[in-house]
Amino acid sequence: MTTSPPANPGAQPQAARQQFASDNLAGICPPALQSLLDANASGHQPAYGNDEWTQRASDMLREMFQTDCDVYFVFNGTAANSLALASMCQSYHSVLCSPVAHVETDECGGPEFFSNGSKLLVGENESPAARLGKLTPDAIEHMVTRRNDIHYPKPKVVSLTQATELGTLYSVEEVRAIAAIAKRRHLKLHMDGARFANAVAALGVHPSEITWRAGVDVLCFGGTKNGLPVGEAVVFFDRDMSQDFAWRVKQAGQLASKMRFISAPWVGMLEDDNWLRNARHANAMAQRLFRAIRELPGVQVLHEPQANAVFAQLPRRAIDSMHALGWNFYEFIAGGGCRLMCAWDTTEQTVDAFAADLATACAQAA
Amino acid sequence: MTTSPPANPGAQPQAARQQFASDNLAGICPPALQSLLDANASGHQPAYGNDEWTQRASDMLREMFQTDCDVYFVFNGTAANSLALASMCQSYHSVLCSPVAHVETDECGGPEFFSNGSKLLVGENESPAARLGKLTPDAIEHMVTRRNDIHYPKPKVVSLTQATELGTLYSVEEVRAIAAIAKRRHLKLHMDGARFANAVAALGVHPSEITWRAGVDVLCFGGTKNGLPVGEAVVFFDRDMSQDFAWRVKQAGQLASKMRFISAPWVGMLEDDNWLRNARHANAMAQRLFRAIRELPGVQVLHEPQANAVFAQLPRRAIDSMHALGWNFYEFIAGGGCRLMCAWDTTEQTVDAFAADLATACAQAA
Amino acid sequence: MTTSPPANPGAQPQAARQQFASDNLAGICPPALQSLLDANASGHQPAYGNDEWTQRASDMLREMFQTDCDVYFVFNGTAANSLALASMCQSYHSVLCSPVAHVETDECGGPEFFSNGSKLLVGENESPAARLGKLTPDAIEHMVTRRNDIHYPKPKVVSLTQATELGTLYSVEEVRAIAAIAKRRHLKLHMDGARFANAVAALGVHPSEITWRAGVDVLCFGGTKNGLPVGEAVVFFDRDMSQDFAWRVKQAGQLASKMRFISAPWVGMLEDDNWLRNARHANAMAQRLFRAIRELPGVQVLHEPQANAVFAQLPRRAIDSMHALGWNFYEFIAGGGCRLMCAWDTTEQTVDAFAADLATACAQAA
Amino acid sequence: MTTSPPANPGAQPQAARQQFASDNLAGICPPALQSLLDANASGHQPAYGNDEWTQRASDMLREMFQTDCDVYFVFNGTAANSLALASMCQSYHSVLCSPVAHVETDECGGPEFFSNGSKLLVGENESPAARLGKLTPDAIEHMVTRRNDIHYPKPKVVSLTQATELGTLYSVEEVRAIAAIAKRRHLKLHMDGARFANAVAALGVHPSEITWRAGVDVLCFGGTKNGLPVGEAVVFFDRDMSQDFAWRVKQAGQLASKMRFISAPWVGMLEDDNWLRNARHANAMAQRLFRAIRELPGVQVLHEPQANAVFAQLPRRAIDSMHALGWNFYEFIAGGGCRLMCAWDTTEQTVDAFAADLATACAQAA
């Protein structure tokens, strides 16, 4: 996207060092890649999703969720969430979410764009649950009941992120409690599952238990962060809600003509529970990192990691040292709050090397 | 996308027979695939286009076009065209195009959606050029001058498709003539280049000659139909027009997090003129097909193919016979008008087999 | 809206000469004005439609239509039609209408804007009915059946204009036939009734007979052209379709805070059948004009007027002469096709004076 | 809008008691009404703003502001603000405003709808200025600098409300300081002037001093709350920003066909400084009310009124008593915070009667 020439344009890029900036820095996991190669070897295939791979991937998701859900593959998370939300409300409705929800903070107004103006209303950020990145039934109730006039966009959808943007989890009970209030208030329930695999792996539940069996209407099931090249699945558990969704996807530029290259990697991912294996590994690496750094001087882990991220307060000078050493990670808030994200391919060596460097940096910073 | 189980869910799909339904039925060409594999082997890479592959692909496009253009990779043609058009006008403006323009007929209102309501105004369909799928300076002039009031969406953009939806080409002179009228009427000039490679290959011109040197402001350079898995390039020759386009792409759900898997295949495609080689081959196959079928009884080729498609009137019974034999192709108009599209991988054998079957079918139909 | 100073800024404008350019050049009819004055004399009134006048006007419309319809008052016809259509479809749907439909030709893309991209598909313009500005069941059937893929915006609504933009009428039977095909194809039926009063007056039917009893779902009942200062009524005969429409109106900037000044004039208009009286008068003036000019040399009336407009081919030089004499009217097509529109206040003297001037102009042009 | 019949449908509404719920409960002031009547007496007039009244009103605004500004009349404040903001940014940009800004809290997502997704970012609500409803340069600076990535909608516009939603004022110096930071950060400056007249009257400055001379680019000048029946003026001080705005207005359903009935009342309002006289009176009534109630037991005025509203904490039981007595006013926050709004026609008698009733109610509540 920039215009300056690269240092050495002809050179083959080396395998770059693993980082903790995000789980989308990792590449394609082997089984997903294998399926992509198989799909490419399958000759001419019908376009726009009428191919065998898309059929198989959709069926595998239906089997996995143990229900006859309706499945659509789109290109990325912004589109998955925005299209799902747009299908659940009209422009004059509102979506209730946490103030740290990705749909609110990091999609550049994508949900507002796709819905032609639906407003996102954010819950409070003071309660213990809110400080863990979670939306509570009370927050929802407050947003629904505080006003009841046509100058206020009518609440229509609740959006939860599972695992949350702070690496925490909604328990089955918590999802159910939210679904209950949603039902009472005639709200639909959307789940942003960019890291749904990590949540399922960490909770140790069947994927149906924290989705449709708990009252979720639509799940955006993320694949990219868990080892796919590109693509997310929008899963409608309530088929009535997916009416004409194929047209919506097409119009919004989210219908792949060579769909098999989006869907085939899902086949490899879903086979043999590879998706869960990847997620468990990433979660385990976060635990390993947590244990390795939690007692370093000046380090304050904000909460025990529940999925694949460690959120920790690090000394300013230690952050600078680590960056100088070539480690990439985000400061998500001012004042030293850092996010350390593990991926499906993060190695124990990488974790240990990072922790060792951080130990040194913290010692020097002290 | 459908719910009925496949015939044999566990079976590995066989390499399917080649078809003439569309050039998007073909898979990934070898050099593009190799680059994708190389990109995957390059370890953790920055997300959202800040990786080396995206840099290289962008630079290669700038080099190829011999100008410092601004390049964005998006997921598909609907998005490329719609985002480009939306960036060139406001909702109360109009886009002038041919009545057979893909943006008008086959994007389910995508341009209207992304632009929040810009209207597409189509030219006449009676002149010789129009019957070849082309927009003419006269048609543009008419649309611009027939009204001049605020109840009519103000013309702002001209959109050409090169090669056209009918497999024909605008010559350099024709593009220049349109650019001249566009400039005089303060219109911007967009080129839908879903099959731009086929046009360049067929015209035998440098790609700059039928784009910015002829007055084109923005090109949507198609990759998918020419051998990529997914992804098109939006090329702004006028950098002033691309201001904040990165935000537009992000908001519209067209920013790949693992961008390298979109851009790396472009590197392989652009290296060693593979893109031209693919296009030349597809064009040659269309010529071969044309020569093989043009004199069959009952067959009336609508015009000599200029790019990679043959448009021909076939006898009704021959069409049915061919479909019964398993050949897939589109009837694009009622009454037997058929489109036969060749891809980068269409083999001579496939062409010959199709022609032989068609000869038999036509003989039986006569 | 222009910046040049008026000729005489301080002068009180004189009552200007009556014209035939449009029925929206006329002012407020006496009963509507009286209600406005009464509403102003009624002291502080609740805002946003919670006032007594809005209640009365809504009730009067329900009574008039003999059904418990849902009524909303908005500011103008573009908004009424666009909001109604937007509530009847989604962005990826299409609206079927005549090629001369106001929503297609004269709202600057308003329907596309409010619906966020719904495409208007226009019927053929060759059949006898089409040449009279009417959409036919066959045209609808063709548009619904010619394609059935997701690249084509799914047909969802039929929009009729009654009286049409060419001053003609759909009979009760014609509306019913269209409603039947709409029902069979799962399409909703919208009526643009900018000149609904003229249609009812001319047809001599009860307003319910050509609306809900004939299968119309939503009517945009125009008031401005029939003697109101500002404001149209959106009437939902199917209340299920108006769910949350109040929010839509608010968000779209169509909710008057001092609503009584929009609704009160409707009370005056509806009382004592003033709306029908106004419309009958305008229709009669069109008949008078028709009879006075139809046999002038060089004049070719396109069809006998059915509502309040005469469409006629006039000699070029006669048009110029009339304009030079200060008469304003529109040439709606190139080559001398003129629209002569009569209003609720058009006097016999005006008609006669125009006809006399035209007779002279035509004699000179011959 | 409701369906239950009124108590006595045939009865002529009486002049209702004056209330403090909003300044939009009042009717049309005499000079505005006289102009409307004059406009109606002026015969046939060109439609869509090409009439003499619109010309005069526009010229009077240019004269009043002492600059060659571009003026558009639209129907209400939601539309004025939303269209102005939409013309100042694109869908992927953001608008910076106070958390109590009307555009954020009370337009049902109108700005997001008209802009197709621009996000409103709200400043902090803790500083002394913020508690008075004002946006500060520091808050703007923070919102502009805290992030600089494409996942965050790029800040493009600052929106101030003058007078604020809490009845306070930005001084000339405050507007200038905000304009300075806006200019430095390449932001445009919008002023929501629903009660601009009250601000000018209270500040005692020339209207140019707190608008274009202080750096405001676009003003939405409210007329309805100050005595018009319907209609606001969008004033572009920077004419470059109003390019094609007439088309935007038309498409968005905000172009009155009989525009004179929107613009003529402005003529009457602007003549002889009637707009200032109305505003001064409303402001004076707020002062009178403030003085009458500030020392009542249990009453805590939140801040001395600067424009035409008193914000006060009232005892719960007093609120209930007042409502039982038929007084209407809003509780704008939970727990007894009330807004008492004075209009152009609020009489001293009404203020005194309200204060007397409140005194009694507070005494009983104590």
Please report all neighbours of D, defined by 3+ CB atom pairs within 8 A. A, B, C
251-270 of A, contacting C, C-beta below 8 A: 251, 255
Paired residues of D232 in beta bridges: D74, D222
pLDDT of residue D249: 98
Nearest Cα to Cα of residue C312 among C166, C126, C128 = C166
| C-alpha span between B358 and B333 (Å, rounded) | 19
The residues near A10 (Cβ < 8 Å, ≥ 6 apart) are none
pLDDT of residue D333: 66
pLDDT of residue C9: 39
Which 8-state DSSP code applies to residue B313? E
Q: List pLDDT tens digits, range D213-264.
A: 999 999 999 999 999 999 999 999 999 999 999 999 999 999 999 999 999 9
Which 8-state DSSP code applies to residue B16? B
The residues near B356 (Cβ < 8 Å, ≥ 6 apart) are none
∠ CA B117-B121-B127, rounded to 5°: 165
Which 8-state DSSP code applies to residue C28? -
| C-alpha span between A167 and A179 (Å, rounded) | 21
Which of chain B's residues have a Cβ under 8 Å away from the Cβ of C116?
Answer: 113, 116-117
pLDDT of residue A13: 47
Q: If pLDDT is split at 50, 70 and 90, which confidence band does B332 have? A: confident
Decide: B322 and B296 in contact? Cβ < 8 Å: no
Q: Which of B48, B154, B251 sits opposite D91 (nearest CB)?
A: B251
Which 8-state DSSP code applies to residue C336? T
Nearest Cα to Cα of residue B94 among B114, B112, B121, B123 = B121
Q: Which of A93, A151, A247 sits opposite C250 (nearest CB)?
A: A151
Q: Is A244 on the interface with C (CB under 8 A)?
A: yes
- Please report the sign of the dihedral spanned by the C-alpha atoms of residue B262, residue B263, residue B267, residue B270: positive
**3-state SS, one letter per residue, for B212-264:** HHHCCCEEEEECHHHCCCCCEEEEECCHHHHCCHHHHHHHCCCCCCCCHHHHH
- Collect the ranges in chain C with pLDDT lower than 70: 1-14, 333-334
Q: Which of B93, B150, B250 sits opposite D246 (nearest CB)?
A: B150
What's the one-letter identity of residue D159? Answer: S
Which residue is associated with the tokens 């207005």? D249
ipTM for the assembly: 0.95
* Token pair listed for B234: 């939006």
- In chain A, domain spans: 30-273, 274-365
* Token pair listed for C75: 């500011």
Q: Model-level pTM?
A: 0.95
Nearest Cα to Cα of residue C316 among C292, C305, C300 = C300
Q: Which of B40, B49, B253 sits opposite A110 (nearest CB)?
A: B253
Interface residue of A93, A113, A142 to substitute, partner D, most D CBs within 10 Å:
A113
| C-alpha span between B162 and B307 (Å, rounded) | 10
pLDDT of residue D335: 72
Q: Which of D14, D68, D82 sits opposite C253 (nearest CB)?
A: D82
Nearest Cα to Cα of residue C346 among C310, C295, C300, C296 = C310
If you compute the radius of gyration of chain C from its CA atoms, what whole number of angstroms results?
A: 21
Cβ-count burial of C148 within 10 angstroms (0-12 exposed, 13-18 middle, 19+ buried)? exposed
Local structure of C154: helix, strand or coil: strand
pLDDT of residue A204: 98
Local structure of B65: helix, strand or coil: helix
∠ CA C356-C357-C362, rounded to 5°: 100
What's the one-letter identity of residue A59? Answer: D
The residues near D303 (Cβ < 8 Å, ≥ 6 apart) are D132, D166, D167, D168, D311
Interface contact flag, D229 C261, Cβ < 8 Å: yes
Interface contact flag, B117 C119, Cβ < 8 Å: no
What's the one-letter identity of residue D9? Answer: P
The torsion region of residue A114 among left (phi > 0), alpha (psi -120 to 50) and beta comes to alpha
pLDDT of residue C365: 86
Interstrand relation of C337-341 and C330-333 (parallel, antiparallel or unpaired): antiparallel
Task: For residue A255, give the chain B residue with the closest CA.
Answer: B76
The CATH number of the domain covering residues in C30-272: 3.40.640.10
Beta strands, E only, D169-214: 188-193
If you count residue pairs, one on B and one on C, with CB atoms under 8 Å apart, how many are there? 63
Decide: A23 and A341 in contact? Cβ < 8 Å: yes
| C-alpha span between A359 and A327 (Å, rounded) | 14
pLDDT of residue D1: 28
Decide: C225 and C201 in contact? Cβ < 8 Å: no
| C-alpha span between A224 and A227 (Å, rounded) | 6
| C-alpha span between B325 and B317 (Å, rounded) | 12
Q: Reply yes or no on whether the pLDDT at D347 is more than 60.
A: yes
pLDDT of residue C332: 77
Whether the bond into C359 is cis, omega within 30 of 0:
no
Q: Which helix (H) or strand (E) holds D359?
A: helix D348-365
The full length of chain D comes to 366
Whether the bond into D163 is cis, omega within 30 of 0:
yes
Q: Which helix (H) or strand (E) holds C341?
A: strand C337-341
If you count residue pairs, one on C and one on D, with CB atoms under 8 Å apart, how many are there? 230
Q: Is A109 on the interface with D (CB under 8 A)?
A: yes
Task: For residue D2, give the chain C residue with the closest CA.
Answer: C55
Interface contact flag, D113 A109, Cβ < 8 Å: no
Cβ-count burial of C357 within 10 angstroms (0-12 exposed, 13-18 middle, 19+ buried)? middle
Q: What is the largest CA-CA distance in chain A?
A: 63
Which residue is associated with the tokens 């286009």? B49
Fold of A30-273: Aspartate Aminotransferase; domain 2 (3.40.640)
Decide: C249 and C119 in contact? Cβ < 8 Å: no
* Token pair listed for A118: 């639906």
Q: Reply yes or no on whether the pLDDT at D11 is more than 90.
A: no
pLDDT of residue A14: 59
Interface contact flag, D247 B48, Cβ < 8 Å: no
Task: For residue B146, give the chain C residue with the closest CA.
Answer: C334
* Token pair listed for A117: 């103006």
Decide: C187 and C156 in contact? Cβ < 8 Å: yes
pLDDT of residue B336: 78
- Collect the ranges in chain A with pLDDT lower than 70: 1-14, 333-334
* Token pair listed for B300: 């009336």
| C-alpha span between B46 and A7 (Å, rounded) | 16
pLDDT of residue D98: 97
pLDDT of residue D195: 98
Please report all neighbours of A, defined by 3+ CB atom pairs within 8 A. B, C, D
- Kindly provide the b/e burial profile for residues D208-233, where b requires at least 16 CB atoms within 10 angstroms of the residue's own CB: bebbbbbbbbbbbbbbbbbbbbbbbb
Q: Is D92 on the interface with B (CB under 8 A)?
A: yes
Nearest Cα to Cα of residue D28 among C265, C43, C75, C229 = C43
Q: Which helix (H) or strand (E) holds A81?
A: helix A77-88
| C-alpha span between D35 and D40 (Å, rounded) | 8
The residues near C108 (Cβ < 8 Å, ≥ 6 apart) are B92, B150, B151, B152, B153, C78, D247, D250, D251
- The 10 Å Cβ neighbour count of residue A239 is 13
Q: List pLDDT tens digits, range B169-194.
A: 999 999 999 999 999 999 999 999 99
Decide: B216 and B187 in contact? Cβ < 8 Å: no
Q: List pLDDT tens digits, range C174-197.
A: 999 999 999 999 999 999 999 999
* Torsion angle of the four alpha carbons C358, C361, C362, C364, in this order, in degrees rounded to the nearest 10: 160
Looking at domain B274-365, its CATH class is alpha beta
Paired residues of C191 in beta bridges: C160, C219
